[in-house]
Amino acid sequence: MGLFSEDIIREIQSRVDIVDLIADYVKLKKSGENYVALCPFHSEKTPSFTVSPKKQLFYCFGCGTGGNVFTFIMKKENLNFPEAVRFLAEKYGLEIREYDDAISDSFRLKREIYNINKIAADFYTDVLHNKYEGEKAKDYLKSRGIVIQTIEEFSLGYAPSNWDSLYNFLVKKGIPPELIFQAGLIIAGRVKGSYFDRFRDRIIFPIKDIYGHIVGFGGRVIGEGEPKYLNSPDTPVFSKGSILYGLDKIKKEEGNGILLVEGYMDVISLFQSGFKRAVASLGTSLTETQAKLLKKYTDEVIIAYDMDLAGRNATMRGLEILKKEGLNIRILTLPEGKDPDEFIQRYGRDEFQKELHNSKSIIDYLIKMEAEKLDLNNSTNRLKFIKKAVQILSEIVDEVERNFYIDKLYKDYEIPKNILIKALTGKNTGNIPEIGLKYKNSQFRNNNKELLRKHSPVKSLNDSIYMAEREFLKILLNDPENCKKGAIKLLPIYFLYKNHREIFNVIMDLVKNGEVLSREKIFLAISDKQEIASEMAKLLMESESVQKEENIEKLVLKIKKNYLRFAMKQLKERIKKAETIGEYNKVLNLLNYYQKLRKEMELLNDKFTEKGGM
């Protein structure tokens, strides 16, 4: 692209491991030499997304998206190439000063807000630890059992009670009020041009993304006051429904399930007690975006919301959203309706571990909730409960699991098995109101439908043409400089498949410019062409071809022959059409061209025979 030196690009590629990078976005599983995952670019139930640590490439065999570290970040973060370069450089600690003009205004604004948030967080932290005003905040945290190491781990701070402490501090740093406002740290006053701090007299919880960027803040009032918790508003870098508090800690901790809690203090208290895989949905109902984030890091979620009415309603909504993402779900119901922080403070770590071990499956939880609504000593209520239980069990597809719960209902609630079996046998679950939790009977999918529709070739072409072009490009891409001699005997027009032609055209442009060919240079040249980058990634992810000179020569001849055969067929159709409408001059010109192509074909046939054919 010419915007960054090759040294910078090469340095980034040497620093960034594609497996580590992509693991920040999806949960990767080892599969032979490669890693596989559910694709982050389209919805699927069975993994078709592959990452190769050896080749430093990714490719999805479902939707056809592929490329290297730059193309992944461009696609995932919706960045152009210069922005992707800067994004990766900053993430991996490389300083880049050149070509700021290539950075979009929105990208530049995000970087500025990250910087302002970092300065603000340092200000809040300094007040907590070093100013007299921060003493009461430290006392409050101490009363909640939070130790100094945990305070530092989560970069907790304190916002002074003054109306404009942070505002004045940032302005003195030379930061324009408009930018501070866009970061969500101040609120506009009634008088034009006046501002006051959003967070005042509150414990401050910096909210970080998976890279450790501070994207926003939460503030908890000390003592009386409303609202009890206050979050940053939506900004260019923060949306409350798109992030989970504590997620930056999750990716550093090995483990299976993730605890989903409501608040900041729950996450902090759990972390301090050794339960380091906990995240909070920032006091809001779980969103689909947050559920997708969880899916990247785990297959199992344990919901540990408060068990008051609001918490139970939030749990039910969370069940449906998490189930849609295919996650295994358990529900932790703590005694006396306590939240995890309260429970740990009162009963300690070991008791919480026991409760966690006894967390309930979805079916157990739903049945328990129905039982608690009713007095089961009343026959009318008991009948209502049995009907509800049958409704819940009818959504279990697996027969073994269903029989397990029939036994359990008999043991726990003394409901005769024959009544449950009779009610469930032959029951048409389509007549039962859906509660959004049923597993699909079939996971059948064909991820390639979209891909085939998008990349299907011209009807008159065939597999042998496709394979010849593909085999040649694989050899060329795996050893571009050594195979250049064969490549220069071809023209881009000889490639009948559009994506093959585009890749070869880029390679020839590099050759014309006297470049030493390499895979990295070719990728760099197509960095802003996502479809072509994906095609190149697919070629490189396929098994490597044997790179022999005679193979290249045969493939060059075959590709030329395929082109000539196709071109002659097209010419015949055009000649026939021109004859039909009486354009005889055009017919004569087309015939002359046809004869020229036929002679070329005869010469190639002779060479092809000499080479031994294919």
DSSP 393: H
The rounded distance, in Å, linking the Cα atoms of 275 and 257 is 11
315, 320, 321, 326 alpha-carbon torsion, rounded to 10°? 120
Q: How many CB atoms lie within 10 A of CB 271?
A: 18
Q: H or E segment at 18?
A: helix 18-23
Cis peptide bond prior to 47, omega within 30° of 0:
no
pLDDT at 551 over 60: yes
pLDDT of residue 77: 87
Q: What is the pLDDT of residues 252-285, one digit of tens each?
A: 556 678 999 999 999 999 999 999 999 999 866 8
- How many of the other CB atoms lie within 10 Å of CB of 79? 20
The per-residue pLDDT for 462 is 60
- Residue reference for tokens 């050899």: 475
CB 472 within 8 A of CB 465: no
pLDDT digits (tens, 9 = 90+) for 66-120: 999 999 999 998 888 888 888 898 888 887 765 555 567 888 899 899 999 999 9
The confidence band for 441, taking pLDDT boundaries of 50, 70 and 90, is very low
Given a cut of 70, is residue 243 above it in pLDDT? yes
The residues, ordered by sequence, that sit 6+ positions from 234 with a Cβ below 8 Å of its Cβ are 184, 240
Residue pair 332/270 in contact by the 8 Å Cβ criterion = no
Segment holding 58, helix H or strand E = strand 57-60
Query: Strand locations in 101-228, DSSP E?
Result: 157-159, 186-188, 195-197, 202-208, 214-221
Q: Give the list of residues 6+ apart from residue 448 with CB closer than 8 angstroms, or none.
A: 61, 62
The total of other beta-carbon atoms located within 10 Å of residue 146's CB is 21
> Which CATH fold would you assign to the domain 455-608?
DNAb Helicase; Chain A (1.10.860)
Q: Which residues of 182-210 are buried (b: 16+ CB within 10 A; e: fewer)?
A: bbbbbeeeeeeeebebbbbbbbbbbbbbb
Q: How far is CA 555 from CA 460, 474, 549, 604, in A?
A: 20, 11, 10, 12
Q: Is the pLDDT of residue 200 over 90?
A: yes
Can you give the pLDDT at residue 446? 36
Instruction: Please give the CATH architecture assigned to the domain spanning 362-425.
Output: Up-down Bundle (1.20)
Average pLDDT score over residue span 426-437: 41
Q: What confidence tens digit (pLDDT) does each residue in 24-76 have?
A: 888 899 999 999 999 999 888 889 999 999 999 999 999 999 999 999 999 99
Residue 577, token pair as written in the block = 């059409």
For 499-531, how does the pLDDT look when each residue is reduced to its tens digit (9 = 90+)?
999 999 988 888 888 887 888 888 888 877 888
All structural domains of the chain with their residue ranges: 6-92, 103-238, 244-358, 362-425, 455-608
How many C-beta atoms lie closer than 10 Å to residue 110's C-beta? Answer: 19
Strand 229-231, strand 214-221: pairing? antiparallel
Which ranges constitute the DSSP H helices of 302-416? 309-324, 340-347, 349-357, 362-373, 379-393, 399-413
Average pLDDT over residues 212-221: 95
Specify the pLDDT at position 79: 86
DSSP string, 449-507: HHHHHHHPPPTT--HHHHHHHHHHHHHHHHSTTTTHHHHTT--GGG--SHHHHHHHHHH
Statement: residue 610 has pLDDT above 60? no
Q: What angle do CA 176, 181, 183 make, to 5 degrees?
A: 100
340-378 as b/e, with b when 16 or more CB fall inside 10 Å?
bbbbbeeeeeeebeebbeebbebbbbbbebbbeeeebee
* Residue at 427: amino acid letter: K
Positive or negative: CA dihedral 320, 325, 326, 328? negative
- The angle that helices 530-541 and 498-512 make with each other, rounded to 10 degrees, is 90
**CB proximity list for 499: less than 8 A, separation 6 or greater:** 455, 531, 532, 535
CATH 3.90.580.10 fits 6-92, yes or no: yes
Q: Say which residue, 476 or 607, is predicted with more confidence.
A: 476
CA dihedral sign of residues 77, 78, 79, 81: positive
The alpha carbon of 9 is separated from its chain's Cα centroid by a whole number of angstroms, namely 24
Please name which of 296, 295, 301, 307 lies closest in space to residue 277, comparing C-alpha atoms.
301
DSSP state of 374: S
Exposure of 166 in the CB half-sphere (CA atoms within 13 A): 33
Mean pLDDT in residue range 8-22: 89
Residue with tokens 């959504």, as numbered in its chain: 395
For strands 278-280 and 328-331, give the pairing: unpaired
- Average pLDDT in the chain: 86
Give the fold, CATH level 3, of 103-238.
DNA primase DNAg catalytic core, N-terminal domain (3.90.980)
Contact 163, 200 (CB under 8 A): yes
Q: CATH code for 244-358?
A: 3.40.1360.10
Band of residue 221 on the pLDDT scale cut at 50, 70, 90: very high
Q: What is the pLDDT of residues 130-188, one digit of tens each?
A: 999 999 999 999 999 999 999 999 999 999 999 999 999 999 999 999 999 999 999 99
> Is the pLDDT at 380 greater than 80, yes or no?
yes
Tokens linked to 249: 């800690």
